[in-house]
């Protein structure tokens, strides 16, 4: 390739990189300015002096609707929601995938197809019945309710991930273990699980990102002190106050984004693998 | 299929254990997916308002839905948003994938940068773009500072254009994802085909256009499916960026459903709109799933 085109190629790639990075840059610099600096400067200007005031306010004293305790309680709600939901849905997914790939029975393929369709439904269609059902069980507007919802509707994708991974483990391995007298659980715990580290990472990260970032279930099935971080952030950014504090909004957005960004930075490989796993096999 | 389970000499427990392990998920799916779809479907045929009731009322809700101006605005917005978002994200994503496929130094770093928005919540994306696009201190002020004194950008608060701001933010978030899918596809193509074409004297753009992109048809279709799906479900981004406003100018079916079912006490109407969304998704997904599962069986 001629030198000129090579140069143009790199220029185009760098422009694209800037396009993706700019919003993050704007968020970070805005969050470090005071409102006076925001009014005096513009989107791209660096803060004249760095101030963490907006971060502090977003964390512990910004108003979301009527209460003014910052994002802190919502952040911890999300943590308390995401940990059990991820662990339970991943465990169930691994078991389902194991059965659906290595212990097929009459009707197991149909079961798989039925579960698989759950990946695709628009969740709007379950919101009204679910709201009523959670009420009957007495877990409406609670963290337990949110965990339940995320486990149920996460099953389809966790099952799909594990099943597709386990299909590629040779059946001979299972047969040999059976000849040695190993049973269903022993094979699962001693053979399958030790081979599953990559897929477990993929599913854990996938579920964590999905559930942490969820807004629909959060806004419909939570109230008062059980709201997750995404709902808290949305309320904070859309609370109409006399002066719009963009620096506080941006700090709040960064606080909400931090956990998933950290996961992406440290385990991006698995995140990308999860994103592409479903789509590229075709 | 020679499956260990089907051999008769394994014990009772071994034969029933797999079914037992799968049973909870099976039941949850039947109840909470299919049962709820039926339940929601039934609600859409009742006259439920603030509280759900179960009296059959026929098609009144669908009639009301199809006469509702707001619903048609939402449907029209979905087409505008879906068309531009899918087309735009595809174009940008494929273009970047092809550029990145030219043995680039620092490819890993660039890929990481292109894809990170996918790790963010749509609420975060919406909040960030809302600040950048706001007519007071955002982009407009930046352009003024740069000397374009007459530059105005009020798309966010203009009812005719607010839906386009959703397109801008959604493309920013998802085009890197399209890039990742296509790059994985490009890496799967046999190099020897390209070398052979080069020896025949074909130019690089021609090789991509005539040989490589046609070979990526399956990736194209799965990506299209995923993007359609993101478009139809899109809710968070609209809520965070425009809240469906000004008025209901940037409503989409998902925000319409939420507003009717949970803030305006029109349960039946909300259920009817949810059913319409399900039908739309099913019309796209069922043929796709059918061909995928059939394909697997033949393989």
Of A189-198, A236-245, B37-46, B116-125, the least confident: A236-245
- Asked if B172 and A23 come within 8 Å (Cβ–Cβ), the reply is yes
Closest-CA distance, A65 to chain B, in angstroms, reads 15
For chain B, positions 35-64, list CB contacts with chain A under 8 A. Answer: 35-37, 39-40, 43, 52
Q: Is residue A143 part of a domain?
A: yes
pLDDT tens sequence across B204-215: 888 888 888 888
Q: Is residue A125 part of a domain?
A: yes
The pLDDT > 90 percentage for chain A reads 50
Q: Are residues A232 and A264 in the same domain?
A: yes
Q: According to the model, what pLDDT value does residue B2 have? A: 45
Domain with A10 in it: 3-51
Residue from A98, A120, A150, A261 whose CB has the most chain B CBs within 10 Å, to mutate: A120
Indicate whether B20 pLDDT > 70.
Answer: yes
Q: According to the model, what pLDDT value does residue A240 have? A: 66
CATH of domain B69-298: 1.10.3720.10
The pLDDT > 70 percentage for chain B reads 94
Q: Are residues A147 and A14 in the same domain?
A: no
Q: Are residues A80 and A199 in the same domain?
A: yes
CB neighbour burial string for A233-249, b if at least 16 within 10 angstroms, e if fewer: bbbbbbbeeeebbbbbb
pLDDT tens sequence across A146-164: 999 999 999 999 999 999 8
Q: Which of A100, A117, A128 is closest, CB to CB, to B261?
A: A128
On whether the CB atoms of residues B161 and A252 are closer than 8 A, the answer is: no
Q: According to the model, what pLDDT value does residue B14 have? A: 76
Q: Which of A12, A19, A27 is closest, CB to CB, to B128?
A: A27
How far is Cα A59 from Cα A225, in angstroms, rounded to an integer? 16
For the ranges A49-63, B4-18, B67-81, the one whose mean pLDDT is highest? B67-81
Extents of the domains making up chain B? 69-298
Contacts of B164 (CB under 8 A, 6+ apart): B80, B84, B155
On whether the CB atoms of residues A157 and A92 are closer than 8 A, the answer is: no
Angle between helices A53-60 and A246-280 (to 10 degrees): 70
| B254: nearest CA partner in chain A | A124
How far is Cα B25 from Cα B207, in angstroms, rounded to an integer? 48
Q: According to the model, what pLDDT value does residue A15 have? A: 93
CB burial of residue B189 (10 Å; 0-12, 13-18, 19+): middle
A204 band by pLDDT with thresholds 50, 70 and 90? very high
Q: According to the model, what pLDDT value does residue B105 have? A: 87
Indicate whether B8 pLDDT > 70.
Answer: no
Residues linked to residue A64 through DSSP beta bridges, in sequence order? A67
Indicate whether A280 pLDDT > 50.
Answer: no
Q: Are residues A266 and A237 in the same domain?
A: yes
Residues in B closer than 8 angstroms to A263, CB to CB, are 119
Indicate whether B58 pLDDT > 90.
Answer: no
Residues in A closer than 8 angstroms to B219, CB to CB, are 279-280, 282
Of B13-17, B124-128, B222-226, the least confident: B13-17
Confirm or reject contact between B132 and chain A (CB < 8 A): yes
pLDDT tens sequence across B222-236: 888 888 888 888 899
How far is Cα B276 from Cα A85, in angstroms, rounded to an integer? 30
Q: Which two tokens stand for residue B163?
A: 């839906």
pLDDT tens sequence across B163-201: 999 999 999 999 999 999 999 888 888 888 888 888 888
Q: Is residue A158 part of a domain?
A: yes
Q: Are residues A167 and A233 in the same domain?
A: yes
Rounded mean pLDDT of chain B? 85
Q: Are residues A191 and A142 in the same domain?
A: yes
Q: Are residues A35 and A92 in the same domain?
A: no
The pLDDT > 90 percentage for chain B reads 35
Supply the CATH number for residue A240's domain.
1.10.3720.10
Q: Higher model confidence: residue B44 or residue B288? A: B44
**Maximum separation of any 2 CA atoms in chain B, in Å:** 85
Q: According to the model, what pLDDT value does residue A278 have? A: 55
Give the position of tokens 């669908």: B62
Indicate whether A196 pLDDT > 70.
Answer: yes
Q: How far is CA A117 from the centre of its chain?
A: 20
Q: Are residues A215 and A118 in the same domain?
A: yes
Q: Are residues A13 and A130 in the same domain?
A: no
Q: Is residue A79 part of a domain?
A: yes
Indicate whether B1 pLDDT > 60.
Answer: no
Closest-CA distance, B127 to chain A, in angstroms, reads 7
CB burial of residue B104 (10 Å; 0-12, 13-18, 19+): middle
| A174: nearest CA partner in chain B | B4
Domain count, chain A: 2
């Amino acid at each position: 390739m001629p030198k000129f085109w090579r140069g143009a190629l790199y220029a185009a790639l760098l422009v694209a990189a800037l396009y993706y990075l700019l919003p993050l840059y704007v968020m970070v610099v805005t969050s470090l300015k005071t409102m006076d600096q925001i009014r005096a400067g513009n989107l791209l200007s660096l803060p004249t002096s760095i101030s963490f005031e907006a971060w502090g306010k977003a964390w512990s004293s910004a108003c979301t609707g009527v209460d003014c305790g910052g994002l802190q309680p919502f952040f911890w709600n999300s943590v308390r929601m995401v940990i059990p939901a991820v662990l339970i849905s991943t465990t169930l997914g691994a078991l389902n995938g194991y059965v659906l790939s290595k212990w097929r029975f009459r009707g197991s393929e149909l079961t798989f197809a039925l579960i698989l369709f759950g990946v695709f439904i628009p969740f709007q269609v379950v919101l009204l019945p679910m709201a009523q059902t959670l009420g009957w069980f007495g877990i409406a507007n609670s963290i337990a309710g949110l965990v339940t919802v995320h486990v149920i509707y996460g099953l389809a994708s966790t099952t799909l991930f594990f099943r597709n991974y386990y299909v590629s483990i040779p059946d001979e391995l299972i047969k040999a273990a059976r000849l040695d007298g190993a049973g269903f659980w022993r094979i699962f715990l001693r053979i399958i699980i030790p081979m599953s580290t990559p897929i477990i990472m993929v599913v854990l990260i996938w579920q964590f990102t999905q559930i942490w970032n969820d807004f629909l279930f959060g806004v419909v099935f939570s109230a008062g002190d059980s709201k997750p971080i995404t709902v808290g952030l949305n309320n904070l950014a859309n609370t109409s106050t006399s002066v719009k504090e963009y620096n506080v909004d941006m700090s709040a957005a960064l606080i909400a984004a931090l956990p998933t960004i950290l996961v992406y930075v440290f385990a991006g490989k698995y995140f990308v693998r999860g994103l592409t796993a479903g789509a590229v096999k075709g | 299929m020679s499956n260990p389970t089907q051999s008769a000499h394994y014990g009772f427990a071994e034969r029933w254990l797999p079914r037992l392990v799968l049973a909870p998920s099976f039941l949850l799916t039947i109840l909470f997916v299919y049962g709820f779809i039926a339940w929601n479907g039934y609600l859409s045929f009742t006259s439920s308002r603030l509280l759900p009731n179960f009296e059959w009322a026929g098609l009144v809700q669908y009639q009301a839905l199809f006469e509702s101006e707001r619903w048609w605005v939402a449907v029209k917005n979905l087409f505008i948003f879906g068309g531009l978002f899918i087309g735009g994200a595809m174009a940008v994503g494929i273009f970047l994938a092809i550029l990145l496929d030219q043995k680039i130094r620092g490819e890993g770093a660039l890929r990481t940068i292109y894809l990170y928005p996918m790790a963010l919540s749509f609420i975060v994306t919406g909040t960030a773009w809302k600040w950048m696009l706001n007519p007071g201190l955002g982009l407009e002020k930046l352009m003024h500072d740069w000397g374009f004194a007459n530059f105005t950008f009020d798309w966010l608060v203009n009812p005719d254009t607010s839906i386009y701001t959703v397109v801008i933010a959604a493309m920013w978030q998802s085009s890197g994802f399209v890039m990742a899918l296509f790059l994985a596809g490009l890496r799967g193509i046999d190099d020897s085909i390209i070398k052979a074409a080069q020896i025949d004297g074909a130019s690089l753009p021609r090789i991509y256009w005539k040989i490589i992109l046609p070979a990526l048809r399956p990736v194209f279709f799965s990506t299209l499916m995923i993007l359609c799906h993101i478009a139809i479900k899109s809710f968070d981004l609209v809520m965070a960026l425009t809240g469906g406003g000004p008025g209901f100018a940037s409503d989409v079916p998902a925000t319409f459903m939420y507003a009717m079912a949970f803030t305006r006490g029109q349960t039946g109407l909300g259920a009817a709109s949810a059913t319409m969304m399900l039908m739309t998704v099913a019309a796209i997904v069922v043929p796709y799933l059918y061909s995928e599962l059939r394909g697997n069986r033949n393989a």
